[in-house]
């Protein structure tokens, strides 16, 4: 039997704003697109440019080739470093091999690299709050000599850490962490080491912070929350966690195909957001999928307005 409009139950979709692409992701994707326009295909990219399968697949069709290591790249084609940042060894190797490289590292990640260097020059022992193995963490650790930075993942790590000199410590953080979880780790560090130095400004970036605030507002009013993002996207995983902490059921899905309508049994209000590397077309896809089964009404929940834009490398603008 065909569902007439009368049969479809009503469903309110609360759209979190801001959601989706941040300025750093937008810039990184543009760098790959413009490099392909300027130099032709293939253009190599070291690591996924941003953590989203849909973005990566689209760039592959344009002529991007994704590799994990620089050694997989020929020397006669351009290579782009991903938005997450790279250890210092990457540009050094590219220079040694006389490669043309374009750095799509987010400027807010580069800012953390600068802070790390500043603390190191000042002779401080550095703690990096972040997730082991995430490319941003690998890149930040790789700014300084081995042993200069210690990774702290949890409050337990913060409590167990033994510094060389408690009066000479600093901490920096990954840009895509949970604001609330990080505050707990920082509180544990400050409790033990009141003199610990911090960055001039919060390392967790504006986009991560804004998306988490928007999710709290949406989750508070939703029966179920859908976060569009890939499981290896740190900021997307954090959005789902923040939603759960705000009291809601939250699901991280790649796209509309990952949506299980059984999750919506008895739901009247569904919140939808997207991580900083998830394209808006995926959000629209979820709304279309919901509209097949429900009488959907959409409400945008406004948090911060984002006006940040980062400049492209000069070589691509000419």
Contact between 173 and 196 (Cβ < 8 Å): no
Residue of 242, 222, 245, 226 whose CA lies nearest to 234: 242
Distances (CA, A) of 111 to 107, 114, 116, 202: 6, 5, 9, 11
pTM of the model: 0.93
Residue of 111, 99, 52, 49 whose CA lies nearest to 74: 99
Contact between 106 and 24 (Cβ < 8 Å): yes
Burial classification of residue 248, based on how many CB atoms lie within 10 Å of its CB (0-12 exposed, 13-18 middle, 19 or more buried): buried
pLDDT band at 3 (very low <50, low <70, confident <90, very high): low
48, 115, 125, 136: the catalytic one is 136
Note if 249 is an active site residue.
no
**Residue matched to tokens 């081995």:** 146
For the chain, helix (H) and strand (E) counts, in that order, are: 11, 12
In sequence order, what are the beta bridge partners of 227?
252, 273
Residue of 57, 29, 52, 61 whose CA lies nearest to 255: 52
pLDDT band at 137 (very low <50, low <70, confident <90, very high): very high
pLDDT of residue 201: 84
pLDDT digits (tens, 9 = 90+) for 20-72: 999 999 999 999 999 999 999 999 999 999 999 999 999 999 999 999 999 99
pLDDT band at 247 (very low <50, low <70, confident <90, very high): confident
In sequence order, what are the beta bridge partners of 151?
128
pLDDT of residue 130: 98
Asked if residue 2 has pLDDT above 60, the reply is no
Residue 31 burial (CB count, 10 A): 25
Q: Delineate the domains of the chain, giving CATH numbers in brackets.
A: 5-21+206-302 (3.40.1010.20), 23-106 (3.40.50.11270), 107-192 (3.40.1010.20)
């Amino acid at each position: 039997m065909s569902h007439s409009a009368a049969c479809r139950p009503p469903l309110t979709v609360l759209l979190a704003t801001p959601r989706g692409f941040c300025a750093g992701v937008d810039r990184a994707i543009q760098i790959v697109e413009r490099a392909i326009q300027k130099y032709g295909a293939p253009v190599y990219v070291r690591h996924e440019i941003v953590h989203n399968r849909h973005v990566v697949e689209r760039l592959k069709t344009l002529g991007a080739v994704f590799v994990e290591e620089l050694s997989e790249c020929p020397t006669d084609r351009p290579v782009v470093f991903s938005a997450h940042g790279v250890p210092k060894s990457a540009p050094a190797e590219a220079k040694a091999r006389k490669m043309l490289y374009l750095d799509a590292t987010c400027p807010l990640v580069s800012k953390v690299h600068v802070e790390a260097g500043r603390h190191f020059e000042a002779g401080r022992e550095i703690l990096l709050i972040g997730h082991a193995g995430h490319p941003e963490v690998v890149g930040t650790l790789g700014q300084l000599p081995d042993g200069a930075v210690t990774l702290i993942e949890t409050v337990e790590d913060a409590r167990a850490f033994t510094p060389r000199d408690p009066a000479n410590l600093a901490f920096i953080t990954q840009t895509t962490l949970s604001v609330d979880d990080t505050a707990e780790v920082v509180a544990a560090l400050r409790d033990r080491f009141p003199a610990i130095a911090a960055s001039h400004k919060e390392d967790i970036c504006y986009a991560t912070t804004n998306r988490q605030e928007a999710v709290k507002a949406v989750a508070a009013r939703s029966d179920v929350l859908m976060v569009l993002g890939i499981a290896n996207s740190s900021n997307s995983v954090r959005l789902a966690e923040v939603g759960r902490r705000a009291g809601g059921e939250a699901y991280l899905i790649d796209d509309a195909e990952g949506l299980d309508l059984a999750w919506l049994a008895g739901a009247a209000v569904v919140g939808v957001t997207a991580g900083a590397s998830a394209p808006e077309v995926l959000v629209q896809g979820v709304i279309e999928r919901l509209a097949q089964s429900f009488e959907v009404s959409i409400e945008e929940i406004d948090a911060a307005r984002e006006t940040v834009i980062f400049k492209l490398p000069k070589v691509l603008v000419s």
